[in-house]
């Protein structure tokens, strides 16, 4: 069992539709990050959330950190083919040197 | 893009042979990490370094060793490769530990036959 569980594991939608990816844990994190990874490349950071209840927006992407800092969600509005990729959440436990990654959600946006 | 390179990018080896992967950075970042990525498991930390000659284990360190003799280089060695170590290996760097942004290299695809 992973410390951070992502759901769904795979999501296939049509261009223009909305989607939400979830990242859940029973542990509290001092911060949580979302990365996107494209085939053949390393992950790239999208956002970091640090405060319980925090909402951050990055164009059509909305990130939320749960009030208890145990979970997070990523919502994409009007998805485009360029949003296709593997989305990974990663959490930092209190005062640690390391990140723990979730298993990832593979998103496919069809034109 | 952060200056991180990994070598080799692809490698095929046989069970029982030693393998060394290299990560090189030009950013002078203090922290360096080695992850492996397998389907359904996301990224799992193997070892990390918080300075020259300062390293610590991650969650899947068995069968792996690391060395960091210079700020810019972090080596991952599989002492005796096994088929279960077939994976994609990523190096990452960050200025500080914890929740600091990690910048990833392009990955090394390793196949152990």
Percent of chain A with pLDDT over 70: 95
Contact B2, A42 (CB under 8 A): no
Set of chain A residues whose Cβ sits within 8 Å of the Cβ of B25: none
- Residue B94: C-alpha distances to residues A28, B29, B69, B91 (Å): 22, 6, 17, 11
Q: How far is A20 from chain B (nearest CA, A)?
A: 18
In which band, very low, low, confident or very high, does the pLDDT at A1 lie, cut at 50, 70 and 90? low
More confident site: A52 or B96: A52
* Average pLDDT score over residue span B6-29: 97
CB-nearest partner of B98 from A6, A96, A103? A96
Q: How far is B73 from chain A (nearest CA, A)?
A: 18
Q: Answer yes or no: do B101 and A33 touch at CB < 8 A.
A: yes
* Average pLDDT score over residue span B16-43: 94
In which band, very low, low, confident or very high, does the pLDDT at A3 lie, cut at 50, 70 and 90? confident
CB-nearest partner of B42 from A41, A97, A101? A101
pLDDT of B37 higher than 80: yes
What integer pLDDT is reported at residue B90 of this predicted model?
98
Quote the distance between the C-alpha of residue B55 and its chain's center. Answer: 12
Q: How far is A87 from chain B (nearest CA, A)?
A: 9
Set of chain A residues whose Cβ sits within 8 Å of the Cβ of B90: 42-43
* Average pLDDT score over residue span A14-20: 97
Set of chain A residues whose Cβ sits within 8 Å of the Cβ of B97: 96-98
pLDDT of A97 higher than 80: no
Q: Answer yes or no: do A43 and B104 touch at CB < 8 A.
A: yes
């Amino acid at each position: 069992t992973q410390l951070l569980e992502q759901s769904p594991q795979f999501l296939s939608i049509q261009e223009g539709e909305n989607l939400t990816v979830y990242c859940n844990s029973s542990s509290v994190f001092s911060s949580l990050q979302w990365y996107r990874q494209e085939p053949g490349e390393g992950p790239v950071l999208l956002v970091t959330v640090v405060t319980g209840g925090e909402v951050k927006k990055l164009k059509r992407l909305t990130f939320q950190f749960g009030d208890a800092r145990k979970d997070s969600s990523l919502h994409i509005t009007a998805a485009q083919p360029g949003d296709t990729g593997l989305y990974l959440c990663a959490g930092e436990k209190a005062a640690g040197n390391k990140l723990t990654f979730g298993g990832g959600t593979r998103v496919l946006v069809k034109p | 893009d952060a200056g991180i390179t990994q070598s080799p990018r692809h490698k095929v080896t046989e069970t029982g042979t030693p393998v060394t992967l290299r990560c090189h950075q030009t950013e002078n970042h203090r922290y360096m990490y080695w992850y492996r990525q397998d389907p359904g498991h996301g990224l799992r930390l193997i070892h990390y370094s918080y300075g020259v000659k300062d390293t610590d284990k991650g969650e899947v360190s068995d069968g792996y060793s690391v060395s960091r003799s210079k700020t810019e280089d972090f080596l991952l060695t599989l002492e005796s490769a096994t088929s279960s170590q077939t994976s994609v290996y990523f190096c990452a760097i960050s200025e500080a530990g914890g929740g600091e942004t990690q910048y990833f290299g392009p990955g090394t695809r390793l196949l152990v036959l």
